[in-house]
Amino acid sequence: MREKLLDIIIMIPAILIGFTFHEYAHAKVADIVGDKTPRFQGRLTLNPLAHIDPIGFLLILVMKFGWAKPVQVNRRNFKNGYKDDLKVTIAGPLANLFVAILFSVVFGLAFRFYFVDNYTQLSKIVIDILNAIIVININLFVFNLLPLPGLDGFGILEDLFPSFFSRISDSLYRYQFIIIALIAFGGARYLSIPTGAIQKLCGKLITAIAL
């Protein structure tokens, strides 16, 4: 029970960072390309409270499946229509990939210049937190690129092929939560292939810096 509670505590900063940077990236790029809706709604911030959905946050801690508050945008405000919307959509997953790589560098530097000579129980907890940040952000990057309604991957396809997806998107969005839940719980082993490959790359980066 104590170990399970510790695992949850370690996950909290990782989830907060992953969700916050993902949604902030959507908001920031939308603001840059002309839509001020996220700014007016208070989403142009790295304060986690602006992005965390309480229910989604609790569920990801308990069931490993949850969500943040989606950033709302108005496409009519974009200067270049679907091209700008594509930039906004892809910004979220790319932010998670950036965070994973950034914290891999931090992990490697911390290990090389501190942990190698000062390994304590506290050091282990910090290492576990850094590792959780890397893993969760990789998972968010891969999961959000799935071409499923409600996820960024589907939004990317909508932006690339607007005429086709305008005819079927309404029907698919009705069942988006069911589809995503089935994939999340039933397709975990398939998702482990791309996530595992990226985790190996981050691991090599950490090793190269640490040694």
Q: Which residues are catalytic?
A: 23
Between CA 122 and CA 117 the distance in angstroms is 13
Structure tokens given for 12: 């909290």
- 43: helix, coil or strand? coil
Q: How far apart are CA 27 and CA 31, in angstroms?
A: 6
Measure Cα distances from 52 to 16, 18, 60, 178 in Å.
Answer: 8, 10, 11, 21
Q: Tell me the C-alpha distance between 191 and 183, whole Å.
A: 9
Q: How many CB atoms lie within 10 A of CB 119?
A: 12
Per-residue CA distances from 161 to 30, 42, 73, 156, 158 (Å): 20, 31, 19, 9, 5
Question: With contact defined as beta carbons under 8 Å apart, do 10 and 132 qualify?
Answer: yes
